[in-house]
Every structure is written in C-alpha cells, then in structure tokens.
Amino acid sequence: MVSGRHGPRVFTLQGAEHAYRLLIESMNEGALTLTPDKLILSANQCFARMVHLPLEQVIGGPFHRFLSARDRENVRPLFKHAGNSGSRIELSLRTADRSRTPVQLSIRPLAREGQKSRTICMVVTDLTESRRAADLLRTFTHRVMQAQEAERGRVALELHDNIAQLLCAILLRSQALADSLPAREKRCKAEAVQLRDMLGKAADEVERISRNLRPSVLDQLGLAAVLRSTITEFGERTGVPVELFGELPAARLPADTELVMYRVFQEALRNVEQHARARHVTVCLTQQSTGVELVVGDDGVGFSLNGGHSKRKRKDGLGLLGMRERAAYVGGTLTLKSARRAGTEITLRIPLPPAGAAAG
C-alpha cells in the first residue's frame, strides 16, 4: 500500500516485479543477482550479450566461470566483505567465444529479513568503449607531445643558429665601437659599454632559452650530463642550491625515457622557481634492473592537494597534468606529495626494458 495525493493505493507484487523487470532490461549495463555460493539467480539480456550466451544458459550457472583464475582471487574478498556501500573492481569477463571484455563490477549485498546469508546484487559496466576512447586520447596526446618536441627542436635550432649568432655579431660590433671611442667621450663610451653588456645578457638569455627548448647535451651526452648542467645553471641564476643524490646512470637510458625525465625535472624546477619560495632543493636519482626513479623535493611553502580553486592552483594543475601525461607516455607513474608550509615532493618512476635491449 502506497500513500498518494488521492489517498492510499494498493500495488500487487506481480505488478511491481513487472515494472522492475522492465527497468532492468532497459539498462545499458549488465544486472545480476547471485546466491551466496555465487550462482546466478537472475540476469538481464545486456549481461548475456556481454558474455555472448543466450540468457537461459547464463541463469543458474556459476558466475566465476566468466572470470580468470587471477580475477577470481581478486574478486573473492570483495564478495566476502562488501559493505552496505558496496565495492567496485575492474577486470575482464571471459566470453563464450574465449574473447575478453573489460568491465567494472559494482557489488552490493542484499540482506533478507530473517536470513543470515545474503543475496548479492551486481551491476556490470562494459568498459570497451571507454577504454578505446582513453587509448585514442592517449595516442593523440602522445602525438601532440612528439609534435611539440619536434617544434621545440626546430625553434631551438633557429634561435641558436640565427638569433644567437646575430646577437654575437652585434655584440662584437658594439665592443669595437666602444673601443674606438676616444677617452674624452666618456659619456658615449659609457653608453657603448652599457649597450655591449645588455647585448651580452640578451645573447646569454637566448642561449639559455634555446638550451631549455631542446638541450643538445641530452642527445649527445645523456641524462646525467644534462641534469648536472641544469642544476648548475639553476643554482647560479636563482641562488637556490640544488643537491644531487644517488648514482647517475653510467649507460644511456632509452631516448624517450631520458627526455621524459628531463622534462619532468625541468617542470619541477620551474615550479620551485615560480611558486615554492624554497631555500633548498634535493634531487635523488636511483636506477634498478626494473626501472629508474627521480625524486625532486623542496622545502618551500607547499600547497594543499585538496585546497581551493585559486588561479595559481589551476596553473600548477596544468603543469602536473603535463608531467603525468609524459610519465604515462613511457609507461611510468608520477606521484605528488605536498602540504602547506611543508614543501613539495614529486616522484617519477619509469620501467626499463629488459637488460640487453638497445637504448632508443
């Protein structure tokens, strides 16, 4: 009996179950109920299509037949300890034609009054399209990064071969002009010397920008050399000391790995310079047989990872997103630790190919 605007109304269980069944069948997700022994009590057509079986061959059978041995082990504790809020897990369903469908299982127990055992309700979401979309987006992102690196290399070459050389030529001419002025022309001579100094600083800045866009030392000498030179340049320019720990790789790493590590390191130092107000920076690089790890930490002001939506936070978030995408490009991971007035630590981990594989 349900109360309504026109008074109480009576609905039969048969009518309620019919509406419930229509709802379940109209879902774009698989829906099941399982016994405590994981036998399928009911399922909708969507789930039957996922596993490529007629519905009558699905109902009454064990759910575990659609899981690999490894997935069975992973899902067992969720069945056993799923609370009232439910549990979720991503895995692959084994279909009748022996293919695999990536899915997300949402598991929730349904307690019945007077019974100790609980029926298990499950919603199965097909992740095929979302995975395909994520792969396409990742491929697109990687291509954008490749195009960006190519363009950076082109601009760096233009700056070095054209602008920097032109500035050096003007610098030599200004030096000659300053030397040619007689000593009695103190004012003009001082202006010429000041002009020469400004041109020298401009040439140094163009060289620095060119080197940061695409450091030739990375291609020629590898990661260890470019880290040392970047640390030296950063310390001299900002006055913030950078201490390097760990053993730098003696052999060359894969080219993509070296480039990603340099770009993440570069972005981390840029954040320190622009935002951290740090007095000291530490860099730790370690390499094992399975991978390489880069940790950049500072003692700056830090920030709250769950803080507000300030303009600075949005900028930092964009930089962090770029670092994560670069890490994912080579199969790596990037983690961030920070708190207000407690500094920031960025950790990049990248797996390495088996020993003996040639560096790219």
Helix axes 128-158, 311-329, angle to 10 degrees: 100
Q: What is the pLDDT of residue 99?
A: 92
Both tokens of 267, joined, read: 């972005």
Task: Evaluate if residue 288 carries a pLDDT over 50.
Answer: yes
**137-180 pLDDT tens trace:** 878 877 887 888 888 888 888 888 888 889 989 989 888 988 88
Q: What is the pLDDT of residue 249?
A: 73
* Average pLDDT over the chain, rounded to an integer: 84
Q: What is the pLDDT of residue 5?
A: 62
Q: What is the pLDDT of residue 310?
A: 41
Is the alpha carbon torsion for 103, 108, 112, 118 positive or negative? positive
Query: pLDDT confidence of 218, banded at 50, 70, 90?
Result: confident
Q: What is the pLDDT of residue 355?
A: 62
Residues 6+ apart with CB under 8 A from 259: 149, 218
Both tokens of 328, joined, read: 């994912």
Closest to 287 in 3D by CA, of 256, 312, 315, 251: 251
Q: What is the pLDDT of residue 159?
A: 87
Least confident of 87-96, 115-124, 127-136, 319-328: 115-124
Pairing of strands 291-298, 344-351: antiparallel
Both tokens of 22, joined, read: 């229509």
Task: Evaluate if residue 10 carries a pLDDT over 60.
Answer: no
* Ramachandran angles phi, psi of 249, nearest 5°: -55, 130
Q: Which residue type, as a one-letter code, is found at position 131?
A: R
- C-alpha distances (whole Å) from 334 to each of 292, 293, 322 are 12, 10, 11
Angle formed at CA 101 by CA 98 and CA 103, multiple of 5 degrees: 145
Q: What is the pLDDT of residue 23?
A: 74
The residue among 357 and 336 whose pLDDT is bigger is: 336
N-to-C CA span, the chain: 72
Q: What is the pLDDT of residue 284?
A: 94
**312-342 pLDDT tens trace:** 444 444 578 889 888 988 889 999 999 888 8
What value does the mean pLDDT take over residues 216-221? Answer: 81
d(CA 54, CA 39): 16
Task: Evaluate if residue 92 carries a pLDDT over 60.
Answer: yes
What value does the mean pLDDT take over residues 118-146? Answer: 86
Closest to 295 in 3D by CA, of 261, 254, 321: 261
Least confident of 214-218, 271-275, 320-324: 214-218
Both tokens of 122, joined, read: 């499950």
Residues 6+ apart with CB under 8 A from 291: 332, 349, 350, 351, 352
Q: What is the pLDDT of residue 332?
A: 93
Q: What is the pLDDT of residue 300?
A: 92
Both tokens of 72, joined, read: 């069975």
Q: What is the pLDDT of residue 314?
A: 41
Most confidently predicted of 114-123, 129-138, 268-277 = 268-277
Task: Evaluate if residue 234 carries a pLDDT over 90.
Answer: yes
Query: pLDDT confidence of 8, banded at 50, 70, 90?
Result: low
The residue among 226 and 315 whose pLDDT is bigger is: 226
Task: Evaluate if residue 70 carries a pLDDT over 80.
Answer: yes
What value does the mean pLDDT take over residues 179-206? Answer: 88
